[in-house]
Amino acid sequence: MIYNKEPLGWIVEEGSFDPRRTGKCESIFAQGNGYMNIRCALEESYVGERRAAFITGTFNKAMPDEVTELPNLPDVTELKLLVNGERFAMDRGELKNYSRALNLKTGEAVRELEWTGANGAALRFSFRRFVSLDNDHLAAFAMDVTPVNGPVDLVLESGISTRTNNSGSQHCTEGEKRLVDGSILRLSTRTSQSDIPVAVHCAHKFQPAPATSLPVMERRRFVNRYTFRLEKGETLHMEKLACYHTGRDEGFTTYGQPAGTLNADQVCAAGDLCMEKALQSSYEDLLAASARRWEAYWNEQDVEIESEDSFDQLGMRFALYHLNIMIKRDDSRVGIGAKGMTGEGYKGHSFWDTEMFLMPHYLFTDPAAARTLMEYRWRSLPGAFKKAEENGYQGAMFPWESAWLDDGEVTPLFGGADVVTGKSIPILTGMIEHHISADVSWGVWLYYMATKDDAYMEKCGCEILVETARFWASRLEWKEEAGRYEICNVIGPDEYKEHVSNNAFTNYLVAENMDKACLVIGEMKEKWPAAWKHLSAKYDLEALVKELQDKRAKLFLPQPNEEGIVPQNDQYLGLEKIDLSKYKSQTGVSSIYEDYSPVQMNKLMVSKQADTVMLLRVMPDLFDAETRRKNFLFYESRTLHDSSLSHGQHCVMAAWLGLTDMALDMYRHAITIDLGPNMTSSDEGIHSASMGNVWQCAACGFAGLQWHEEGLSLQNSLPSAWKRLSFHAHWRGANLKITLTPGELKVENVSGPKVDLILNGKKVQAAQGETVTA
């Protein structure tokens, strides 16, 4: 189990060793800095381990029948340790006083243990490691070993391995190995198809010095083999530094300039220099420099929760920790992967998660980072144009899964087994989950509303809104008999349902997309003249507005039926109801697929995740309160929450509906998606969108944060178990400190211009230094 260790709310601890948690702990304890992440695989090896290091943007296609993905780069974490000839591993011999903990405050992971091998030698171990927030390229490891019942002979092998791969797919060439300056191990490799040079360096320091030291070069493996003779009570202290550099590191400038194009020699030289410099500092000094960056982060971004259950706080900080290491805040060539860079799940690809689940967090805590994400979408337009063209449409059809800027659609074609046909299940999302294009536009408008960043609108936002609207105009299907436009054969947010018609979420967001496109076309010439120049050179904008308005007016928007239920799609309300209790109480994921094929699932009234509920959440003013409530309760009862995207959004909606107990229950589900008892659900990496959701639960749910043209609104919906909730939110240039206690909602304008607020439904203003309460 995962525990909340003292100081409560800051330390995620695995209190006992269980090899079944190998993958989970590698993911949740992963460390990084937005440039790179290293999974927290233990130094010694275990069956089922998945050592991995990922660097943002290094996408590569390993094989002709695969899609591009983030490669698992060479490993530096492995450390082979022979104690009197016996391999050290905690699942053999006797283990005592084990603790493994990630300190969210400093970013350091520490493992302590005592171990007695089969040959009787007992040792005390301490392992520490971090990936630097102060130097993107740097990772550091420390180990202390002390024999406690007699002298021991130690053999230690440590270095770099290119044997790592993505579930068997290899992305890196074997590369060139070189011992630099007699002590630094360097491995220079390339990705096989995208041809990105990658240099990995590592070096070791020991106290006392090893008796012998020997470089060993094997296939795809370059280590030093050290031997030691340690007396009883004598501590061997090791420090290992490693750094990663790639050809995509530098030469990057905003807005469409050529991406970083360092060659292999330059990459190696950058690593040589980095390592040389780092070796002048101790592990402690390097850690302190990184921890100072973490301290600054927490000062700005902490969300404080005083709850009866301190795990509520831990879950929030855990989310914030991962939200900080998953994003490269200053590089708009890259998005955020569905698993961040903590595992190979979803191949490092970006989904609608960005706009719907992650962007709100960044937007209200670090608007510049949100801009990076929304620039990434703009820079991905070539791929969206390509996808539209390939599918016979116009404008920008964003890929369901995005990787490098010009990759276009990268969704794999096949998934798990169809229990009925015995074939791989085709993955249709890349083909027919079209709402992504409207989601991106929704994000663009949200970004603009919260920042009034006209420069972004002029350069990027207008073009996205217009091009996605053009896509929709070409995508809509005229139904003569009904006298309306429809959108058929799609997948909505609920991925259990394929080939549906008029998914409410999709249709409403498409309407919004077209509305906003018309709005900006109307204002563009004055407000964003460069955009107007660019787009009017390509299109007859007047005619385009007319077409959009006409089609928008005739677009079918599903309305509540006589029971007040908005049909999720044309088919949903007529589907067969089955008893869902078996699946509602599932401990794993997707257990329903063990009983039903996708074709069968399509015929059952069961949802994977928030769909119409998502619509209610992202367009909160669409229906009246009673309709929202009815639909929320109806759809929740048919939903298995078989997606990590689901609980958090239900929490927000429940809080908005005043169902604060239910909301807290949903929150606690959301924070246990990765931290909970399920031993395998995080094997492929943590759930990025869920981290954004956890922030949304508190900020948008319990604090009721909503965005309106007329201002930022907040609503105190603190659950009874919580005594205090406080966090910072940025709004139109102001940095607001928001504090909720039972019965009180307080907003301090820490810095920035005077802003309009709506507190518990009441309009107020707050100038810099001013505190308003409700």
- Residue 215 binds to its own copies (criterion: CB under 8 A): yes
Q: How far is the CB of 416 from its own copies (least distance, A)?
A: 5
**Distance in angstroms (rounded) separating the CA atoms of residues 622 and 617:** 10
Q: What is the CA angle 254-255-258, rounded to 5?
A: 80
Of 41-70, which residues contact its own copies (CB under 8 A)?
A: 45-48, 62-66
- For 623, phi and psi rounded to 5 degrees? -125, 165
**Distance in angstroms (rounded) separating the CA atoms of residues 720 and 743:** 11
Q: Which residue from 258, 422, 743, 769 is in contact with its own copies, where contact means CB under 8 A?
A: 422
Given 355, 375, 495, 684, the catalytic residue: 495
Say if residues 616 and 632 touch (Cβ distance below 8 Å).
yes
- Pick between residue 44 and residue 304 the one whose CB is nearest to its own copies: 44
Q: Decide if 495 is catalytic.
A: yes
- For 712, phi and psi rounded to 5 degrees? -90, 130
- Residue 73 binds to its own copies (criterion: CB under 8 A): no
CB under 8 A: which stretch of 273-281, 333-341, 421-429, 539-547 binds its own copies? 421-429
Q: Which has the closest alpha carbon to 394: 472, 465, 462, 460?
A: 472
Which ranges of 562-706 would DSSP assign to H, the alpha helix? 581-584, 598-601, 612-618, 625-637, 646-656, 660-675, 688-696
Q: Which residue from 6, 258, 392, 423 is in contact with its own copies, where contact means CB under 8 A?
A: 423
Size of the site for its own copies (CB under 8 A): 53
**Distance in angstroms (rounded) separating the CA atoms of residues 429 and 431:** 5
Q: How far is the CB of 455 from its own copies (least distance, A)?
A: 42
**Distance in angstroms (rounded) separating the CA atoms of residues 245 and 270:** 7
Q: Which residue from 17, 89, 573, 605 is in contact with its own copies, where contact means CB under 8 A?
A: 89
Q: Which residue from 417, 432, 589, 604 is in contact with its own copies, where contact means CB under 8 A?
A: 417
Say if residues 38 and 31 touch (Cβ distance below 8 Å).
yes
Question: What's CA 176's distance to the chain center, in Å?
Answer: 33
Q: Which residue from 279, 419, 619, 633 is in contact with its own copies, where contact means CB under 8 A?
A: 419
Beta carbons within 8 Å of 292's beta carbon, 6+ residues apart: 134
Say if residues 120 and 268 touch (Cβ distance below 8 Å).
no
CB under 8 A: which stretch of 95-103, 166-174, 250-258, 709-717 binds its own copies? 166-174
Of 614-653, which residues contact its own copies (CB under 8 A)?
A: none
Q: How far is the CB of 63 from its own copies (least distance, A)?
A: 5
- Residue 279 binds to its own copies (criterion: CB under 8 A): no
Q: Which residue from 119, 208, 209, 218 is in contact with its own copies, where contact means CB under 8 A?
A: 218
Cα–Cα distances (Å) from 663 to 395, 585, 694, 698, 706, in that order, read: 40, 18, 12, 10, 17
Burial class (CB in 10 A: 0-12, 13-18, 19+), 417: middle
Q: What is the pattern of x (binds its own copies, CB under 8 A) and - over residues 220-259?
A: xxx-------------------------------------
Q: How far is the CB of 62 from its own copies (least distance, A)?
A: 7
- Residue 426 binds to its own copies (criterion: CB under 8 A): no
Say if residues 627 and 634 touch (Cβ distance below 8 Å).
no
- Residue 169 binds to its own copies (criterion: CB under 8 A): yes
Q: What is the pattern of x (binds its own copies, CB under 8 A) and - over residues 653-692?
A: ----------------------------------------
Q: How far is the CB of 642 from its own copies (least distance, A)?
A: 17
Q: Which residue from 124, 178, 386, 746 is in contact with its own copies, where contact means CB under 8 A?
A: 178
**Distance in angstroms (rounded) separating the CA atoms of residues 436 and 751:** 35
- Residue 265 binds to its own copies (criterion: CB under 8 A): no
- Pick between residue 166 and residue 246 the one whose CB is nearest to its own copies: 166
- Interacting residues toward its own copies by CB under 8 A: 19-20, 45-48, 62-66, 87, 89, 91-92, 161-170, 173-180, 182, 192, 214-222, 415-417, 419, 422-425, 594
Catalytic residues, by residue number, are 495
